[in-house]
Amino acid sequence: MIYFDNAATTKPHRDVLDSFIKVNEAVYFNPNSPHKWGLQAEKVLLQSKERIQAMLPIGQNTDVIFTSGATESNNIALKGIAYRKKQFANEIITSVLEHPSVLEVMRHLEDDGFKLKYVNITSDGRIDINHLASLMNDRVGLVTCMYVNNIMGQIQPIDEIVTLLKDYPKAHLHVDAVQALGKIPLHLEGINSVSFSGHKFNGLKGQGLLLIDNKDKLEPIVHGGGQEYGIRSGTVNLPMNVSLVKAIALALDDLNDRNHRMRHFNNELRQFFKKYKGVYINSPEDGAPQILNIAFPGVKGEVLVNAFSKSDIMVSTTSACSSKRGKLNEVLMAMGIADNKIEGSIRLSFGDLTTEDDINHFKEKFEIIYTEIKELLK
Ligand code: PMP
């Protein structure tokens, strides 16, 4: 099987699984229990947070909140910040490029009385920084932007946004960096909060992280026993959190190697597809290396995914989260891509375990798939 759907999820690393099992066996205690074993668990929890602060500092201070994944991190951060600021800064800026775990929160906040503004997108799928500047004012309390787009792979100008927002101290910048960690070098300096999901970089499903420059900025969304500074109540899942630290360490450890390997695969397939009439590349060349979105105008994305799947190649249409909704992908629409190209788009996404052999087998199998679909291509 050739697994080119790593942007949807990745295979857990053996060391992450081992760490999860080891902590489950050795330190299964509740970090909130007052006894000796509880205190031991609390110590491990604090050490995990210190390691994350050292690996992923976002500025002068980095508060670490463990969650179940980026969906939860995005919800906690966006609602938590927005509700805290509602009285004095109730405008929010986002873009149509965001993942549903941001966009659906935005729609909810809009229904709840916030003023929502969408920043324009340039033809290469990036935030239009001049338009963003024109939307800014002293009532903007929150700006949210993803780091790497999950469908096309374009990288957003986070540094430029950070610089722009320096003139607007009321505006909190939240970044969804789910598709960036372990793929490209991260510049987190100056971001106010950031979300990650462990399963996107060979961690486990249900492992998430929210980093914030000051946890006191957040209005709690989930109320309960007061764990995680009262922001994310519920018994702390220590084995999950410790093994997330392992996954992050592994992802950052050989980042340069992985980045180059994926860039090489990406370039190799870009060259390869040039030989085939009616096949187009959607992803920008300077995007994140692990994502290659390609269009086969005239053939429906689902038909393509099935054809590839029959040949044991796993790819996605737009993204696993929205592909079942059956509507034209808004990210590609916002970039001005023609409807028939959007309909016929698929995403190949590489991972840490992708090999040159996978690329070679893919090329061989693609010859057969192309013969089947070429009559349909426009
Ligand atoms: N943001 C982005 C950019 C994503 O790709 C995803 C996962 N598809 C999420 C957020 C949500 O992550 P999870 O499903 O792990 O909560």
Q: What is the pLDDT of residues 157-202, one digit of tens each?
A: 999 999 999 999 999 999 999 999 999 999 999 999 999 999 999 9
Residues 6+ apart with CB under 8 A from 173: 143, 144, 145, 161, 162, 165, 190, 191, 192, 193
Q: What is the mean pLDDT of residues 49-69?
A: 97
Ligand 1: nearest atom to the Cα of 149: 3
- Grouping H, G, I as helix, E, B as strand and the rest as coil, residue 122 is coil
Q: How many A from CA of 71 to the centre of ligand 1? A: 6
d(CA 147, CA 188): 10
Measured CA angle at 43 (ends 233, 77), to 5 deg: 35
Q: How many A from CA of 199 to the centre of ligand 1? A: 9
d(CA 145, CA 376): 37
d(CA 152, CA 291): 6
Adjacent-strand bridge partners of 148: 155
Q: Percent of the chain, pLDDT > 90?
A: 89
Q: Is 69 near ligand 1, meaning CB less than 6 Å away?
A: yes
Residue 145 designated active-site: no
Does the pLDDT value for residue 127 go beyond 80?
Answer: yes
pLDDT in tens, 216-229: 999 999 999 999 99
Is the separation of the CB atoms in 359 and 209 below 8 Å? Answer: no
Q: Is 70 near ligand 1, meaning CB less than 6 Å away?
A: yes
Could you tell me the pLDDT band of residue 119, with boundaries at 50, 70 and 90? very high
Residues 6+ apart with CB under 8 A from 96: 103, 118, 121, 330, 331, 334
Rounded to the nearest angstrom, the gap between the alpha carbon of residue 325 and the centroid of all alpha carbons in its chain is 19
Q: Is 146 near ligand 1, meaning CB less than 6 Å away?
A: yes
How many C-beta atoms lie closer than 10 Å to residue 265's C-beta?
22
| Six token digits for residue 323 | 């592909």
pTM of the model: 0.96
Least confident of 25-29, 121-125, 141-145, 349-353: 121-125
Residues 6+ apart with CB under 8 A from 323: 301, 302, 316, 317
Residue having the nearest C-alpha atom to atom 7 of ligand 1:
8
pLDDT reported for residue 288: 98
Contacts made by residues 267-270, CB under 8 angstroms, sequence distance 24+: 268/359, 269/348, 269/359, 269/362, 269/363
Does the pLDDT value for residue 321 go beyond 60?
Answer: no
Q: Is 145 near ligand 1, meaning CB less than 6 Å away?
A: no
Look at the block and give the residue holding tokens 């053939």: 299
Q: What is the mean pLDDT of residues 135-149?
A: 98
- Grouping H, G, I as helix, E, B as strand and the rest as coil, residue 143 is strand
Ligand 1: nearest atom to the Cα of 197: 15
- Catalytic-role residue among 55, 303, 320, 321: 321
